Amino acid sequence: MSEHLDSSPAITRRTLLAACAGALLTGCGEEAAPASQFVLLDGSTRQTSDFLGQVLLLNFWATSCTTCVAEMPQIVSTYRKFQPRGFQTLAVAMSHDKPEYVVNFAKSRQLPFLVAFDASGAVARAWGDVRLTPTSFLVDKGGRIVRRYLGQPDFAQLHASIEKLLA
């Protein structure tokens, strides 16, 4: 990477997150998850703080994203495997998606976890200006981001990480 982070006085949180971007992130200093409000498909809301004490997989996705659609059964399987032990999944549909497509997708596939719609794009901006889908974050019980995945994660590795965080 040609950018010298330590020589720039204007290092921002977004710059650090961008510096950590890649196919698979294994750290980023375990920074705190951004305080966000998620509007679920049923109209209720959740806050980032509502997930404290749980391990969270936050998945940014879109119905038009073929990789997102392809990985969804594995996300469902991951949720079902770990949910009884304090694991939660929140799928956040991107603002460019059509709300009716998101609702139809969630219902037709009987998604068992929380699904939110980021109508304004504020949640995607708060989480490092997410633009590419799928992008997922693994958040520990203390509310710290421990991994960021750009693209479909290696689910065996993701499961191993979840096991460690739940222990």
Task: Give tens-digit pLDDT for 82-140.
Answer: 999 999 999 999 999 999 999 999 999 999 999 999 999 999 999 999 999 999 999 99
Residue 23 has pLDDT above 80, yes or no: no
Task: Give tens-digit pLDDT for 58-89.
Answer: 999 999 999 999 999 999 999 999 999 999 99
Task: Give tens-digit pLDDT for 117-130.
Answer: 999 999 999 999 99
Q: What is the pTM of this model?
A: 0.82
Does the structural domain 23-166 have CATH classification 3.40.30.10? yes
Domains of the chain, by residue range, sit at 23-166
How far CA 106 is from CA of 25, 73, 74, 94, 146, in Å, comes to 28, 12, 15, 14, 27
Task: Provide the strand spans (E) within 62-160.
Answer: 87-93, 114-117, 135-139, 145-150
- DSSP state, residue 80: H
